[in-house]
Amino acid sequence: MHELLLFASVPQHQHHELLQQLAGLTAMQPRHALERRLIFKAYRKPGLGASRTGGSQDLQASGDLQRVTKMLNGGMFYTQVVGPVAENDFSPSGPDADVQMSGTEGNSAGSAGAYDYEQQPWRLEFRDVPEAGTRSAVTARVMATAALPCGDVVPAMNAWGYHFVTEYVVEGDMFTYGDIVLFLHRVLHYPSTSLEDKEPRKHLPALSEMSVMEKSGSYVLQASMTVLDGSNQETMKTASRHLFALREKLRSAVKLEMADRLSLDTRAK
């Protein structure tokens, strides 16, 4: 599958306004989305012992295995594991939040709506480097998505030769406009993020303790479209045309552009 994208930076003060404009444009209420995103990085040369041991048993049943193995062995890449979370998965904020936080990892907080890491669904989102030198002014890249077993994904990822780098949370609102998905989002950091974190968190802090990565609180608007067959020039053109039409419509509000190719470089060096 191919993915065509346009991006825009949205200053914080424009966020509310843009939300309303997008709601008007797409004639729908925004769908709020919270996602955990885990970044993994390949540490093994492809083809070296891509074993099927470890946590991959569940995956074999899913039939996604072949694709996943293929995409993960294509080269040395960064890849993302995305898990949708709900607002009440985060610890309730309040005076006792700290107490819960300080509890040992094994202890469940016990409160209602406590986050259950074992039940956390995940999907692997593989994204290739954007195609170079495309004359059209959109970012186009090969993409693939596969469902992963719930719970701890690290063993499975390790088995494929990937190790955990870091994680963050993406918070935003989603709209659909025809075939285009508009995602107005920003990155949230966990409190006191020590980059030495060796594995994904088992517990989530209170949402209010999360801090925005971009200190001014700005958002990123991503307009994306997927094309089943990237080799079909006709559909690719149609998709670009749709994106350009959207860009024109939103021109007076935001400036959607293709992204700097290297900023989306997923190759691990």
Partner 1 sequence: MVRNSSPMSLLPSHTNTRSSLQSQATIISNNLVSVSEHLSDHRDLLSSLVAYPGPDYPGRTQAGILEQLLRTKLDPRVEDWVARGRAAGSGSTPASAFTTSDAASVPAPSALAANDFKPLSDAELAELWAWAPVEANQEARRRNWGGNFTLEEREAGIENVVTGLKRQLEDDEGDEEDEEEEGDGDAEGEDEMEIVGVRRRSGAGTVEFDVAAPHHHKAEPVVPLPEILRYMTTGRMP
Partner 2 sequence: MGIAPSHGRLLHPSLRVTAEKKDQPDTLPVEIAQINEQWGSFRDVNEDILQAKIAQEQEQNGAPPSDEEAEETDLDTAERRDRLYKKRNEIIQFAAQSHTEAMFALDFVSLLLSKHAPRQAETSMSPFLKQVAPLGSLNGEVVNPPAKSEAALNDIATVSRGWRIQNFNSASSKLLDAASRLDSEVTAESRYWNEVLAVKAKGWKIAGCHKIVKHSEFSTASLEATPIFRDRGLASLRRSADGALLLDKGLIPAGSRFVRVRVKEGSNISSSSRPSEQNSSNPDSVEYQILQARDSVFEEELYHELVREARAMAPSGVTVRQDHIRVPASDDLEILLDLVDSNDESLGCGRNSSDSENLLADGLAHSIRILLAFAHRQNLHRRTQIPSPLTGKKRPNPEYPLLRPALAYFQHLSYVRRLESFLRDIYGVLHKAGLETPDFTISSFINESKNPGHPAPPTLEVLLQNSLSPVKSVFRGDLLSSGSSFEITVRTTLLAPPLGTAYKVTVNSPAPDFKSPGPLGLREEVEAAIIHILLLDVRPADEDQKATPAEGHFWEPVYPHLGELVLAGQPRKYKKMKVSLSRHELSLSVHRVRKFDALGHGGQEPESQPSRLHVWICNPSEGTTAESSLIDFVSSQTS
The residues binding partner 1 (CB under 8 A) are 7-9, 11-13, 17, 20-21, 23-25, 37, 39, 41, 78, 80, 127, 165-168, 170, 187, 195, 213-218, 220, 249-253, 259-260, 262-266
Question: Does residue number 87 form part of the binding site for partner 2 (CB under 8 A)?
Answer: no
Tokens at residue 211, please?
């801090």
Binding at 136: pick from partner 2, partner 1, none (beta carbon under 5-8 Å per type): none
Question: Does residue number 234 form part of the binding site for partner 2 (CB under 8 A)?
Answer: yes
Beta carbon of residue 267, minimum distance to partner 1 (angstroms, whole number): 9
Question: Does residue number 14 form part of the binding site for partner 2 (CB under 8 A)?
Answer: no
Beta carbon of residue 69, minimum distance to partner 1 (angstroms, whole number): 22
Q: Which stretch binds partner 2 (CB under 8 A): 51-59, 106-114, 147-155, 229-237?
A: 229-237
Q: Which stretch binds partner 2 (CB under 8 A): 8-16, 52-60, 171-179, 212-220?
A: 171-179
Options 59, 227, 250, 254; binder of partner 2; rule CB under 8 A: 227
Neighbours of 101 (CB within 10 A): 15
Nearer to partner 1, 44 or 261 (CB): 261
The alpha carbon torsion through 194, 156, 186, 179 (nearest 10 deg) reads 170
Burial of 99 (0-12, 13-18, 19+ CB in 10 A): exposed
SS3 148: strand
Contact 158, 38 (CB under 8 A): no
Nearer to partner 1, 135 or 215 (CB): 215
Q: Which residues pair with 82 in a beta bridge?
A: 37, 123
Q: Side chain identity at 174, as an amino acid letter? A: M
- The C-alpha atoms of residue 257 and residue 244 are separated, in whole angstroms, by 9
How far does CA 62 lie from the centroid of its chain? 21
Beta carbon of residue 156, minimum distance to partner 1 (angstroms, whole number): 19
Q: Side chain identity at 92, as an amino acid letter? A: P
Question: Does residue number 144 form part of the binding site for partner 2 (CB under 8 A)?
Answer: no
Residues in the interface with partner 2 (CB under 8 A) total 22
Binding at 20: pick from partner 2, partner 1, none (beta carbon under 5-8 Å per type): partner 1
Question: Does residue number 21 form part of the binding site for partner 2 (CB under 8 A)?
Answer: no
- The C-alpha atoms of residue 64 and residue 124 are separated, in whole angstroms, by 10
Contact 82, 37 (CB under 8 A): yes
Question: Does residue number 155 form part of the binding site for partner 2 (CB under 8 A)?
Answer: no
For 44, which DSSP code?
S
Options 109, 138, 225, 256; binder of partner 2; rule CB under 8 A: 225
Nearer to partner 1, 77 or 90 (CB): 77
Nearer to partner 2, 242 or 261 (CB): 242
Contact 218, 209 (CB under 8 A): no
Contact 40, 214 (CB under 8 A): no
Cα atoms in the 13 Å half-sphere on the side-chain side of 98: 1
Q: Which residues bind partner 2 (CB under 8 A)?
A: 1, 26-28, 31, 174-176, 178-181, 225-229, 232, 234-235, 238-239
